Structure 1
Amino acid sequence: MMHAVHDLMFLYLLTCLGQNGHGSEIINGKNVPQNSMQYMASVQIDGKHVCGGFLVSEDFVLTAAHCYKNSPMEVVIGTHNLKKVKRKKMRYSVKTCKHPQYDKAQSGNDIMLLKLSRKLQLDKKVKPIQLARTEIKAKDNVKCQVAGWGSTETSVKAVDVLRWVDVPLIALKTCTKIFKGKLPEGVICAGGYDTENGFCQGDSGGPLVCNRTAVGVVSFNIDGNCKYPNWPNVYTDISTHLSWIKNILNKKQC
């Protein structure tokens, strides 16, 4: 009986992923030093931060598809402190380019490009990040980080200053077992399991960075629960969408 109740609860949590996975906060992290992570972007609606993102060219920011809202979206680039935004220089309106096969976060393809209203000027505060060309695996034993402007624990107000934390990669076989086979294809698991470090509400769309390369996009966790180390964090695998990304970057349109 207890097993049946547990399975029902687990299924319920999975149905909540699409609603609660968006926006993620950095758990157990620290402030990002100035003049580092110059690729980070704040995705905003009505001047308020809703998701993270990251600069991949002079014209485009990459984020999660579930960050899309049926409202005009903007991005802020060039500052770690969202209270210090020079509107004309740092704020850009955008055109949204959701992955054509996206439905909901737990179904995969949770990725979106945002075309900037104007080409930005690259400098010491603004630099794009390199994208992964091949799949990364836990056995590669690399050091990875995730960053964002979300809150520092479940249901706590988001922060104004960008924060980051180290997160270990989790073998996909292990992650799939924990999710009882309910993981979509084309994802990476890192943090949240066997560690207190991870993400939560406030930072979806931010990058998973390994060896200074963006390998994943923050997608979802379990029901917005950030009391780790019980559940893995799930990211969209950038390498599986590289051709789609490059096609849009080359055409400079969706």
Structure 2
Amino acid sequence: MESLHAFLVLAYFIFHFFAGYGTDIIHGKKAPDKSMLYMASVQSSKGHVCGGFLVTEDFVVTAAHCDTVNITHVVIGNHNLQQGSDIKIIVEKKFKPSNFNDVWLGKDIMLLKLSRKAQLGCKVQIIQLPCAEMNVKADEVCQVAGWGRNRTGGENVDDLRVVNVSVINPEVCREQWPGLPVNVICAGGYGTDKGFCQGDSGGPLVCNGLAVGIVSFNKYRNCNYPDVPNVYTDISKYLQWINKVLATS
């Protein structure tokens, strides 16, 4: 029992040395202007904090660990955060799983209730979530997008960037991340130079037009050639909780 405890303590500190909250798009490209109209910039009074995505007219999904700062509003309707023609909506309430503590323990998901409904149209759209629990197939090519840095030590970008990433077999991912939390998806950042890095948590992993994952964590400060997989919260495993929040709030 003592040896097991020592291993768990060691694993915890190894994780916090290597894993990085917040992520950016690495070796991607500028997102086309009329694409990904569901993307949201989750912000504090000082500006961009995390990515997010609109799932109803008045709810944005992001990562629970983004709540380490005082989130005040979201910005939607513009891929360039400096152009000034965006739409800002105040965050009225935040919902996280009651027992969320740390990304390494899973449940890294948060719903933001907006103070008013977004007007859907040519600049703003919602993205669909899975209808039921599902397992994304290994090697399936998906997309992740965000406004974070695009290289190690770089600066956040003004324009939304997107990159294709391949889903990684869960067994392979667990070999690279011993003690990986449950209810996650791994995609990109392993055996490739594409994926996310520090600066843009909370964005969606989009496969076949569905938001199936939420950017959660990766290897700390390694943006160019990560040697462990990028990790996302598996949205389909939280549908019951999501639907309850949406129906009662």
Length-normalised TM-score, structure 2 = 0.91
Contact preservation (8 Å) 1:218, 1:234: yes
1:158 shift after superposition: 0.4
- Unpaired runs of 5+ residues, structure 1, are 1-7
Matched, 1:125 2:123: yes
- For residues 137-181 of structure 1, the C-alpha deviation after alignment (integer angstroms, 9 at most, x for no partner) is 334x4320000000101221100100000000000100001112x
1:115 shift after superposition: 0.5
The aligned counterpart of 2:35 is 36
Taking structure 1 as reference, are residues 72 and 50 closer, same or farther at Cα in structure 2, changes over 3 Å only?
closer
The aligned counterpart of 1:5 is none
Taking structure 1 as reference, are residues 48 and 166 closer, same or farther at Cα in structure 2, changes over 3 Å only?
same
Q: 1:184 aligns with which of 176, 181, 189?
A: 181
**How many residues are paired up?**
240
Summarize the alignment of residues 1-254 of structure 1 with structure 2, pairs less than 5 Å apart. 12-16=13-17, 21-86=20-85, 90-94=87-91, 95-132=93-130, 133-139=132-138, 141-180=139-178, 182-251=179-248, 253=249
Give the aligned CA root-mean-square deviation in angstroms: 1.9
1:15 shift after superposition: 2.1
Equivalent position amino acid for 1:215 in 2:
V
- For residues 184-238 of structure 1, the C-alpha deviation after alignment (integer angstroms, 9 at most, x for no partner) is 0100000000111000111100000000100000000022322324110000000
1:50, 1:16 → 2: CA distance? 21
Contact preservation (8 Å) 2:133, 2:239: no
1:242 shift after superposition: 0.5
Taking structure 1 as reference, are residues 98 and 11 closer, same or farther at Cα in structure 2, changes over 3 Å only?
closer
Contact preservation (8 Å) 2:78, 2:85: no
User: Which stretch shifts more, 221-230 or 168-177?
Assistant: 221-230
1:101 shift after superposition: 2.1
Over the matched positions of the two proteins, sequence identity in percent amounts to 51
Q: Specify the SS of the correspondent of 1:248.
A: helix
- Unpaired runs of 5+ residues, structure 2, are 1-8
1:99, 1:125 → 2: CA distance? 31
2:71, 2:162 → 1: CA distance? 28
Q: Specify the SS of the correspondent of 2:145.
A: strand
- For residues 64-106 of structure 1, the C-alpha deviation after alignment (integer angstroms, 9 at most, x for no partner) is 000003524211010000002346xx01111211121211111
Contact preservation (8 Å) 2:41, 2:49: yes
Equivalent position amino acid for 2:62 in 1:
T
Q: Specify the SS of the correspondent of 1:166.
A: strand
1:75, 1:162 → 2: CA distance? 15
Contact preservation (8 Å) 2:94, 2:112: yes
Q: Specify the SS of the correspondent of 2:68.
A: coil
2:106, 2:135 → 1: CA distance? 17
Equivalent position amino acid for 2:21 in 1:
H
Equivalent position amino acid for 1:81 in 2:
N
2:52, 2:17 → 1: CA distance? 22
Contact preservation (8 Å) 1:145, 1:209: yes
Contact preservation (8 Å) 1:25, 1:200: yes
Equivalent position amino acid for 1:169 in 2:
V
Q: Specify the SS of the correspondent of 1:131.
A: coil
User: Which stretch shifts more, 95-104 or 234-243?
Assistant: 95-104
1:112 shift after superposition: 0.1
